[in-house]
Amino acid sequence: MIKLPESIDLANLPTKIEKLDRLSKYLNGPEIYIKRDDQTGSEFSGNKVRKLEFAVQEALNEGCDYLITCGGIQSNHARATAAVAAKLGIGSYLVLRTNKEEMIDGNYFLDGVLGAKIRFITAEEYRERRMEIMKEVKEELDKKGHKAYIIPEGSSNGIGAFGYFKAMEEIFEQEKEMGIKFDAIVLAVGSGGTYAGLFYANKYYKNNAKVYGINVCDDEKYFKNAINNILYESFQYTKESIEFFKDEINIIDGYVGKGYALSRPEEITFIHELAKLEGVILDPVYTGKAMYGLVEEIKKGNFKEHNNILFIHTGGLFGLFPQKGMFKF
C-alpha cells in the first residue's frame, strides 16, 4: 500500500459527482458526469485546496509561518493560498502578474479581503524570474523573523500533486458506491499538478481509465514534459514510481483560443448555455475552455470509444466576475 506524505484536512470532501443529463442527451454520445471540485469550500473553492492540504502540511512540519506563492492577477491558487493561510493564522504573500492597473475584482479582491500581502510583477518578470522574486520575498520575511515557505505556481510540484492522487482514490470509492466505471477523466490543465496526481494514481492502481488534460496555455509538448517532471518529483516522496511513456500523458491541444485568460465569444456563450442547461457555472480561464473542448471533441466523434466520462470541475468561479462585460442577457 502506497504511503502518501502527511496532509492537513482543509477541503470539504468527498466532492459530489453528478450526471449532466441534459448535456449528455443533447450530445447523444457518452454519458457525461461532473465531479464538483468547485465545491471543496467557499473561500477555498476549487482544485488548489487539495494540493495545499499536502504542501501546507509540509510547510507546518518545517515550522513555517508564512506562505509565499505566485500567479496571474486572477489566480485561484493565490486566493486559495491566502484563504488557507488566514484559516491557519499564518501570513500569505502573493506575487501576482500584471501589466496594468487592475480593477479590484474577483480573486484579487478576495486576496485583499483575506489579508494577503501582494507584490505586482510584470509578465516578463513573471516569465523570467518569478522563483527568484519569491526567494527575495522569502529573504525579506525571514530577516523579519518569519519562516516562509514557497509554493510554486499552481502548487504544481511533487508534493502538491498528491492532492489529486488522493482525489483519484476518492473517485474509485464513488465508482463503487454509484455502480459506475468512468472510462475517461477529463480536466483543464494550467500548470499540470492536477493531471499529474490523477495520472499517477490511475497507473499505480492499474485502473484502465484514460485521463485527458485540455491545456489552457502553452502546448502539448510543454505539458508532457512538465507533468513528467512533477511525477518524478512525487516518486521521491513515495519511493514508488510507476512505469509510463510520456505519450500516455494525453493532452488535447487546440483549445487555448486567444491565449491564457483571454476568452473568445464562443467560449463565453458556451459557459452561458451550460449554466442555463444544467445549473453549473464554469469559469472562463480553465473549466470553460476545457468543457468547451470536450464538447467539441465529442461532436467530432473523438470520444466514441468512451461510455462514461467524468469531467472534473476544478473551480474558478470568482474569475468569472471580472469578465461580466462579455455576457449578454
Least Å distance, CB 287 to ligand PLP, is 6
Identify the residue among 189, 201, 211, 291 touching ligand PLP (CB under 6 A).
189
Least Å distance, CB 217 to ligand PLP, is 9
247 neighbors 269 (Cβ within 8 angstroms): no
- Residue whose C-alpha cell is 470520444: 303
Q: Which of 7, 24, 45, 75 is catalytic?
A: 75
Position 15 contacts ligand PLP (CB under 6 A): no
Position 174 contacts ligand PLP (CB under 6 A): no
Identify the residue among 70, 188, 252, 309 touching ligand PLP (CB under 6 A).
188
Least Å distance, CB 176 to ligand PLP, is 26
20 neighbors 26 (Cβ within 8 angstroms): no
Identify the residue among 29, 192, 284, 293 touching ligand PLP (CB under 6 A).
192
* CA dist list (Å): 143 to 92, 137, 148, 152, 198: 16, 10, 10, 21, 39
Least Å distance, CB 322 to ligand PLP, is 14
Least Å distance, CB 191 to ligand PLP, is 3
Question: Binding pattern to ligand PLP, positions 284-303, x when CB under 6 A?
Answer: --xx----------------
Helix (H) or strand (E) holding 297: helix 287-299
Position 41 contacts ligand PLP (CB under 6 A): no
Position 74 contacts ligand PLP (CB under 6 A): no
C-alpha span between 65 and 81 (Å, rounded)? 13
Interior angle at CA 171, CA 169 and CA 176, nearest 5:
100
Is-catalytic flag, 75? yes
Contacts (CB under 6 A) with ligand PLP, residues 304-323: 314-316
C-alpha span between 130 and 96 (Å, rounded)? 9
CB burial of 183-212 (b: ≥16 within 10 Å; e: otherwise) equals bbbbbbbbbbbbbbbbbbbbbbeebebbbb
Identify the residue among 194, 207, 234, 323 touching ligand PLP (CB under 6 A).
194
Name the residue nearer to ligand PLP (CB basis): 29 or 163: 163
Contacts (CB under 6 A) with ligand PLP, residues 202-231: none
Name the residue nearer to ligand PLP (CB basis): 58 or 141: 58
Position 91 contacts ligand PLP (CB under 6 A): no
Position 185 contacts ligand PLP (CB under 6 A): no
Number of residues that bind ligand PLP (CB under 6 A): 20
Nearest position to ligand PLP, beta carbon:
190
Position 40 contacts ligand PLP (CB under 6 A): no
Helix (H) or strand (E) holding 250: strand 250-252
Residue 49 makes CB contacts below 8 A (sequence gap 6+) with 10, 11, 40, 41, 80, 83, 84, 163
Name the 3-class secondary structure at 324.
Answer: helix
Name the residue nearer to ligand PLP (CB basis): 45 or 141: 45
Q: Is the dihedral of CA 106, 111, 112, 117 positive or negative?
A: negative
C-alpha span between 13 and 40 (Å, rounded)? 7
Contacts (CB under 6 A) with ligand PLP, residues 145-164: 154, 156
Q: What is the DSSP letter of 100?
A: S
309 neighbors 186 (Cβ within 8 angstroms): yes
Closest CA to 169 of 299, 40, 2: 2
Least Å distance, CB 156 to ligand PLP, is 5
Binding residues for ligand PLP, per CB under 6 A? Answer: 46-47, 76-77, 154, 156, 188-195, 283, 286-287, 314-316
What positions carry a catalytic annotation?
A: 75
